[in-house]
Each structure stands twice: as C-alpha cells, then as structure tokens.
Structure 1
Amino acid sequence: MYKPIYIFIGLRYLWNSHLTSFKKIITILSIIGTSLGISSIVITISLVNGFQNEFQKNILSFVPHLIITNKNYYINESEFPRNILKSSNVQKISSFINSKVLIQSKKNITIGEIITFKEKNYDSFKNYNITNILYTLNSKENNVIIGKKLAKKLNININDSIKLITLPKSKKNFLTKQFNEKTFKVTGFFCTENEIDNYQILINSKIALTFLHYCKNYITGWRIWLKDPFYFDINMFKKIKNNLILLNWKSKEGELFKAVQIEKYIMLLFFILILLVVGFNIIITLTVNMIEKQNVIAILQTQGLCRKKIMLIFITIGSSISIIGNLLGILISFTLIFQKKILNLLINLFFNTTNISMKIFPFQVFLVNITFILLSILSMLYPIWKITKSTPAKILSHE
C-alpha cells in the first residue's frame, strides 16, 4: 500500500490512463491557464524592473537624489549635517556650487546651469565619459565643458569662446543687481543622452568662486546620491538642522516618478486579477472533480477514511495543478525573457518599439510562485469542505 494514501489517490485522480478525454482536457487547460498567468506576471515584473533600472541608470545617475542647502542657496561647508552619514543608503556626497547663467555665443544666446568640478574629483563625473578632458578644468584657465546638445543650440565647436552672464537667484533683485559676466573657452563636450546635455556647464570650483563672488569655504549645498533612490529613510534626513532645507529628485523629476508609481500600481492590479483568474480556474477544476467523485468520497468515508484525509486528496490535486502550472509558467517566461528576439517580435506587433529592457530578481519570482501556490490552496478549502460535509448516507441514498 502506498503511503501516504491521500497523495496516491490524489495523483491517481489527477491523471491516469482511464480518465476520459473530457477530464484530461479540463486538467490540461487548468495547467495551461495557471502557467500563462504566472508567465505574464513574471514578464510584467521583469519589464517594470527593467524600466526602473534604465530610469535609474540614464536619469538618476546624473541628477542628485538629494540636495541639502539653505533658503539662500549659500552656505558654509562647516555646516554640513554629519548625522546623514549614518544612513546606510547614502552612496556618495559632494559639495557643489550651482547657478543659472545666460550663455552667449557669437551666433546665439540661451540659458544654462553651471556645475562645479573639483580638481582630481573624477568620481562624480565618471558617467559623463569625459575623464580624458576633465584635466582642462583647472584653476588657472577659464575653461568649461558643456553638453553636446547645448553646443548645437549655440552653434559652437571645441576651442570656441562663450560668455557666461550670472542671473540673480531672486526675482526681486533681477533689475537692481548688477550682472556679472566672463568669457570662457569651451574645451570639450559631453554626451549623456540625458536632458542635462541641453543646459549643463562644467566649470572648475575655484574659478566658480571668483566668477560668482562666493566667499572662501562657501558653497551652494551638498549633492547626495543614494544606493536606492526609490527608497530612503526620510526621517533620518528630517533630523538635520532647522536652517537647512532638503530637496529630493522627486520634486525635479516628478512626472517621471509618477509614471513609475502608476506603473507599479497597474502591475499590482494586474497581479491580483491574474491571481483571481487562476484561483477560479483551479476551483472550477476541483469542483468538477469533487462533484463527479461524490459517491467515491462517501464510499471512502464508510471504509474509515477520515474527512481530513479526504480533503487532503483534493488539496493534492489542486496543489499539483498549481505547482506544475507554476513551473511551466517560469519556463515560458524565462525562455521569452532570455530570448529577447521572440518577445520583441510579439511586442512590435502592438507597439512601435524596438528595444526593451528587462531585469529578473530571483526573490520576486520565488515570492510570486509561493503566493500563487498558497492562495490556490486556500481557495480550494471551502469547496472541499462543502463537499465532504455531506454524510455518506445522504449521498448514497439516491443509489
């Protein structure tokens, strides 16, 4: 005799050579429905992860995740709030001087933003791919490196000269403040495929101090990059001094952040809907099995098989469908994800795009599978309990 008996009986009811074609088709369709649901969820999650990864790589790697400054955007470096260093999410911190400027070339004029570069501080600008020309931003020459798109606007080339004119930070001082201007030589371009290419200008920090009339050891503030910009302990940063203010990347990239958040909510809704469909699918399959097996259930009860073990027979059937569907779904989704050409072809049928980014986290796949299996089992309990509640005498009285 096979032990445990309920697993042996459950697997026999799930599939055997004596099953009718109709019952086999129902079981196969139930497994296919589960596998398609799982594969859809895994692919969707990987697409969202890929989008977030590209968002963080292409946009948030150039934009500071947090900026600490004061209301005047003019602060002494000694006022740095050191308690921020206690946060494990902080990746790097750099002081900076920043100002809006008018940029004038021989043929055009536009608005830009200067960002300072400290000599030998290459880490903050490694994503710009200009390490070989950063040495030109020394403290002895009035040199700048600007974005390629900005250079196109101004219609200038390398070694051309541009004039930078400071703009007052307050609108009240716009007409009263005397504008400061200086001529700079363009020693190179950077191309990040980001919006900063349209306005950013890199300049040596010592040159900027003189140009903007900053006192020694005074800066605009501190730029902070986080390991995970989508999550940070805001309470840690709220403990900073009252005279300092905190600006995060969400305020600057608000619309894109909203798009990311909406995408997460849609994915959650999608996950719940597929979960319900798969759950109903398994319930229907089990209910058909149980209604057909009512007489067998009654006979097993009369032979001494307890109600708990009879319930475990049908839980074995439902769990087997769920587990097989999960494994098949993972196989389908991983095949489509790693063979991007197939998935690109399918996406291009509905959307005019050629490149998609996907990223898989094993923990997420494991969590999806465990959730599906557990909820599938929970969804089986009521119909199983309802069927096994009837007494054998009542069921067999019609025979």
Structure 2
Amino acid sequence: MYKPIYIFIGLRYLWNSRLTSFKKIITTLSIIGISIGISSIIITISLINGFQNEFKKNFLSFIPHLIITNKNYYIDESEFPKNILKLKNIQKVSSFINSKVLVKNKKKISIGEIIAFKAKNYDSFRNYNIKNTLYTLNSKENNVIIGKKLAEKLNININDLIKLIVIPNSKKKFLTKQFNEQIFKVTGFFYTKNEVDSYQILINTQIALKFLHYDKNYITGWRIWLKDPLSFNINTFKTKKNNLLFLDWTLKQGELFKAVQIEKYIILLFFISILSVSGLNVVITLTVNMIEKKNIIAILQTQGLCRKKIMFIFVTLGLSTSLIGNLLGTLISFILIYQKKILNLLIKILFNNISISIEIFPFQIFLVNIIFILISILSTLYPIWNITKSTPSTILSNE
C-alpha cells in the first residue's frame, strides 16, 4: 500500500494511462497556462532589470542624483551638512562649481553649462573617457573640454576659440549691461552617448573661480550620487538648516521619472493579471476533476477516509500542476534569456533596431515561483470546500 495514501491518489488523478483524452487535454492546458505565465513574468522582470541597469549606467551615472546648495547657488564649503554621510544610500559626494553660460563662436550661439573639474574628483568624470585630454585643464590656461554634440551644433573643432558668457541667476543682474564673458580654447571633446554631450563644458576649478568671481572656499554646492537613485525619499536627506536647498534628479527629469514609475505599476498590474489567470486555471482544473470524482470521493469517505485527507488529495493535485508548470515556465524563460538570438528575433517582430539588455536576479525568480505556488494552493480551497460540504449519503443517493 502506498503511503501517504492522499498523495498517491492525488498523483493518480493528475495523470495515469486510463485518463480520458479530455482530462489529459485539460491537465496539459492547465500546465501550459501556468508555464506561459511564469515564463512571461520572469522574462518581463529580467528585461525591466536590464533596462533599469542601463538607465542607471548610461544616464544616472552622468547627472547627480541629489544637489545640495542654497538660494543663491553660492555657499561656503564649510557649511556641508555632515550628518548626511551617515545615510546608507550615499555612494559618493563631491563639491562642484557650475553655471549656465552662453556659448558663442564666430557665427552661432547656444546655451551650455560649465562644470569645474578637480583632479581629486576624477571618479565623477571617469565615464567621460577624457583621460588623454585632462592634462589640458590646468590652472594657467583658459582651456575647456566640451561635449561632442555641442561642438557639432556650433561647428567647433579642437583648438578653436569660443566665448563663454555667464547667464545671471537673478533678474536684477540680468538687467545690467555688464556680463561675465571670456575667451576659451577648446582642447578636447567628450562623447558619453548621453544628453550631457549637448550642453556640458568641463573647466579647471581655479579658472572657474576667477571666471565666476567666486571667493576662496566658496562653491555652487555638493553633488551626491546614490546607490539606488530610483527608490529614495528626499525627506530623509533634509536637515534642520533651513537655508539649504535639496534638489533631486526627479525634479530636473520629471517626465523621465514618471515614465519609470508608470513602468513599475504596469509590471505590477501584469503580474497580478497573470496570477489571477493561473489561479483560475487551477480552480477550473480541480473543479472538473472533483465533479467527475465526487462519487469516488463519497465512497472513500464511507470507507473511512477523513475529510482532511480528501482535502490533501486535491491540494496534491493542484500543487503538482503548479510545480510542473513553474518548472517548465522557469526552464523556458532561462532558455529564451540565455539564447538571446531567439528573444531578439521575437522582439524584432514588434520593434525595429532595438537592443535589449537582460539581468536576472535569482531572488526575484524564487519569489515569483513561491507566489505562484501559494496562489495555486489557495485556488484549491473553493473546489475542496464545495465538494466536502456534501455528505456521502447525499452524493450517493442520486445514483
């Protein structure tokens, strides 16, 4: 005799050679439905992970996630709120000097933004790939390195001279006739494949201090990069000092941040929809089995099999279906993810000239599988309750 008996009976109900074709089709479709749901969720989450990783690497690595300054954008370096360094989400902090400027060559004019470069803050500019030209940003010569897109817009070549005109922060200064302006020599370009290529201008710190008429030890503010810029609360960074301004990247890139947030809600809705369909799938499969097996269940009850064990029979049936579907779905998703050619081919049917980036987190896959299994178990409760509420005498009296 097989023990425990309810597992043996549950597995026999799942699949055996005497099952009718209709039951085999129902069971197969149920497993296929769960497999498609699992593989769809895993592939979608992996694509989102890849997109967010590329977004952080190619976009958020070039702009500060948080800027600390004051209303005048002119602050003493000694006023830095040191308690911020205690926060766990901080990756790096660097002081900076910047200002919006008009960039003018012989025939064209555009708006740019100068960023002062310090040798000790080289990590902040590592992604700019300007190591070979950094030596030109010395404190003795008026040299600058500009973005390639800005250079193309103004038809600027290396060693060309450009005029930078500071745009005043306040309306009063803007109405005056005197503007800070100076001639600079372009000694190099940077190309990051990012929007900073169209406006940023790198300049030596000492030259920037003189150009902007900054006093010694005064800066524009501090730039902060976070470990996870996509999920942080700006209120955790604020201090008791009311004169400080805290500007996060979501203010400057509001529409882009909203798009990322909407993407998360869509994925959550998609996840809930797939869970609902999979749960309904299990309910239908079990209900069909129970309607057909109700007489046998009644006979088992008259033979002394308690309701608890009968419940376990159908829990075993639902759980087996879910486990097989989960394993197949996970396997299919892994094959499609690691064989990127297949996935690229499927994506190119809908989108042209798009490159995909995929990143798998084992914990997420484990969590998805666990949630699907739990939903499958919960889905067995209604069919079980429906069949066990009737007594054996009521069921068999109709025979």
Runs of at least 4 residues off by over 6 Å:
none
Distance 2:120 2:274 in 1: 54
Count of residues paired in the alignment: 399
Paired residues for 1:1-399 under 5 Å: 1-176=1-176, 178-399=178-399
Paired letter, 2:56 = Q
Distance 1:185 1:238 in 2: 40
- Residues 320-375 of structure 1, C-alpha deviations (whole Å, 9 max, x = no match): 00011011011111111111111111111122233112211111111111111101
- Residues 67-119 of structure 1, C-alpha deviations (whole Å, 9 max, x = no match): 00000000000000000000111000000011011111123211100001013
Paired letter, 2:170 = S
Paired letter, 1:351 = F
Paired letter, 1:368 = V
Contact residue 33 and residue 281 of structure 2 kept, 8 A: yes
Paired letter, 1:252 = K
Contact residue 234 and residue 248 of structure 2 kept, 8 A: no
Contact residue 67 and residue 224 of structure 1 kept, 8 A: yes
Distance 1:82 1:205 in 2: 23
Q: TM-score, normalised by structure 2?
A: 0.98
Distance 1:390 1:353 in 2: 61
Distance 1:111 1:234 in 2: 29
Once the 2 structures are TM-superposed, how far is the Cα of residue 242 of structure 1 from its aligned partner? 1.0
Gaps spanning 5+ residues in structure 2: where? Answer: none
Paired letter, 1:20 = T
Distance 2:177 2:60 in 1: 34
Distance 2:239 2:142 in 1: 39
Paired letter, 2:130 = I
Once the 2 structures are TM-superposed, how far is the Cα of residue 233 of structure 1 from its aligned partner? 4.3
Paired letter, 1:15 = W
Gaps spanning 5+ residues in structure 1: where? Answer: none
Once the 2 structures are TM-superposed, how far is the Cα of residue 383 of structure 1 from its aligned partner? 1.4
Distance 1:230 1:10 in 2: 46
Tell me, what secondary structure is at the counterpart of 2:186? Answer: strand
**CA RMSD of superposed structures (Å):** 1.1
What percent of counterpart residues are identical? 78
- Residues 200-253 of structure 1, C-alpha deviations (whole Å, 9 max, x = no match): 000011110000000000000000000110122434312251110100000111
Distance 1:394 1:154 in 2: 89
Contact residue 81 and residue 240 of structure 1 kept, 8 A: no
Contact residue 118 and residue 205 of structure 2 kept, 8 A: yes
Tell me, what secondary structure is at the counterpart of 1:72? Answer: coil
Distance 1:60 1:365 in 2: 26
- Residues 101-160 of structure 1, C-alpha deviations (whole Å, 9 max, x = no match): 111112321110000101343211001011121121111111100000111111111111
Contact residue 119 and residue 137 of structure 1 kept, 8 A: no
Q: TM-score, normalised by structure 1?
A: 0.98
Paired letter, 1:160 = D
